[in-house]
Amino acid sequence: MQGDELAAAVIAGDRRALARAITRVESARADHRAEAVALVAAARAAGRQALRIGLSGTPGVGKSTFIESFGMMLVEQGLRVAVLAVDPSSARSGGSILGDKTRMERLSREPAAFIRPSPSQAQMGGVARRTREAVALCEAAGFDVVLVETVGVGQSETVVAEICDLFILLLAPAGGDELQGVKRGIMEMADMILVNKADGDLKPAALRTRADYAGALHLLRRRPQDPEGFPKAVCVSAVEQSGMAEAWADMQALAVWRKREGHWSARRAHQARHWFAEEVRQGLLAVLEREPAKGSMAALGREVEAGHLSPEAAAARMLGLLGRA
C-alpha cells in the first residue's frame, strides 16, 4: 500500500492499516524515514485530537490491571481507546512487559480498543520519535483517548510527559509513612497521582499514602496550568474497579479547564517545538556517525582524556568536521 493510501485507510479507521502504519514509523531504516514523515504528515492533516494520557508506574503497581479496567470503562462509555507503550529498556525483565495484550485480555478483544506493545528498541531518541508518531496515527484513526504507558525510570517519564496532555503517576500503597522514593522531578510532572490497590487489607495503607502524596504535591507546587485542587492524589482499585469514574471525571475536568484557559494548546505548541529541536539534535548526532566525522568523536574523546587537547578545542574541531559533512 502506498503512503497516501495507507494514511487514508488509517483516517478511515482501519485498524490493520493503523498497525501497519505504526510498523512503518518504527522502521529504523534511513530510506523508510521520508516515507514515514509523509505518512504522519498526511495523518496529522486529518486534524483530529485525542486526549493523550501518559501513565507511569514501577513494575507491579498495577499498570496493566489499571489500563484494562480504566480502558474497559471508557469503551463502555462509547469511547475508542488506544494503548501505546514506551519501554526504555530492551531487556524485558521483571515481569513487566508493557502494553502486553495478554495482560489486558478483555480490552484487547474490544473492537473499540487498540493495543500496541512497545518495540524492542534500546535508544531513547528512537523510542520517543516512534511513540510521538504512533500517537499521531492513533489520533488520525479517530481514537478519543490515547494512553501511553511507561515504567518509572526517569528518562522515559520525561519523554511521555512531553508527548501527552496529562501525566498520571500510578503508585501502590506504601508500607511505612515515608514517600516511596518518588523523584521530585516526577512529582513535578504529575498532574494526578493515583494510589492503586485501595482495597481489602491494603486500603488503610492506600489512604495513608494518598494523604502523604496529597500533602507533598501541595507543598511542591501550584503551576499556572493547574486549576484549584490540582495536582491531585486519589485512591483507586483496578481490581475492584473503584475510583475509576472519579479519576476519569478529574482528568476530564482538568482537560476542559486547560482547553478553556489556553494551556492545552500552549502545551502542545511547546511540545512541538521541543521535538523539533530534539529531532535536529538527533539528526546532528547521526551526521557525526557519517564521513568525514565518523570515528572522530571517539578519537577526539581519547585525546581529551589523555590531556592532549582541551575539551573546548576538541569540540571546536569536531564541529568544524560537521560543517564539512
209 binds ligand GDP (CB under 6 A): no
Residues 217-246 close enough to bind ligand GDP by CB under 6 A: 237-239
Q: How far is the CB of 239 from ligand GDP (least distance, A)?
A: 4
160 binds ligand GDP (CB under 6 A): no
Residue 274 near residue 132 (C-beta atoms within 8 A) = no
Q: How far is the CB of 1 from ligand GDP (least distance, A)?
A: 34
Residue 187 near residue 180 (C-beta atoms within 8 A) = no
Give the binding range for ligand GDP (CB under 6 A) out of 5-13, 41-49, 194-202, 226-234.
Answer: 194-202
Rounded Cα distance between 26 and 221, Å, is: 37
C-alpha cell at 18: 493503523
C-alpha cell at 133: 508518531
List the one residue from 150, 196, 209, 296 that touches ligand GDP (CB under 6 A).
196
Q: How far is the CB of 19 from ligand GDP (least distance, A)?
A: 22
Residue 98 near residue 118 (C-beta atoms within 8 A) = yes
Taking the least distance from each CB to ligand GDP, the nearer of 2 and 93 is 93
Region of 241 (left: φ > 0; alpha: ψ -120 to 50; beta: rest) is left
DSSP letter string over 232-282? EEEE-BTTTTBSHHHHHHHHHHHHHHHHHHTHHHHHHHHHHHHHHHHHHHH
Taking the least distance from each CB to ligand GDP, the nearer of 3 and 54 is 54
Taking the least distance from each CB to ligand GDP, the nearer of 48 and 203 is 203
Q: State which residue has the least CB distance to ligand GDP.
A: 62
Name residue 76's amino acid: E
202 binds ligand GDP (CB under 6 A): yes
Give the binding range for ligand GDP (CB under 6 A) out of 34-42, 114-122, 193-201, 260-268.
Answer: 193-201
Rounded Cα distance between 260 and 234, Å, is: 24
Site string for ligand GDP, 76-115 (x = CB under 6 A): --------------------x------x------------
Q: How far is the CB of 63 from ligand GDP (least distance, A)?
A: 3
Taking the least distance from each CB to ligand GDP, the nearer of 43 and 206 is 206
Secondary structure of 121-169 as H, E, C letters: CCCHHHHHHHHHHHHHHHHHCCCCEEEEEECCCCHHHHHHHCCCCEEEE
Q: How far is the CB of 43 from ligand GDP (least distance, A)?
A: 29
Site string for ligand GDP, 122-141 (x = CB under 6 A): --------------------
Site string for ligand GDP, 33-72 (x = CB under 6 A): ------------------------x-xxxxxxx-------
Rounded Cα distance between 123 and 128, Å, is: 9
Give Cβ neighbours of residue 55 (< 8 Å, ≥ 6 apart). 63, 66, 67, 147, 148, 149, 150, 168, 170
Residues 241-300 close enough to bind ligand GDP by CB under 6 A: none
Q: Which residues sit at the interface with ligand GDP, rule CB under 6 A?
A: 57, 59-65, 96, 103, 196-197, 199-200, 202, 237-239
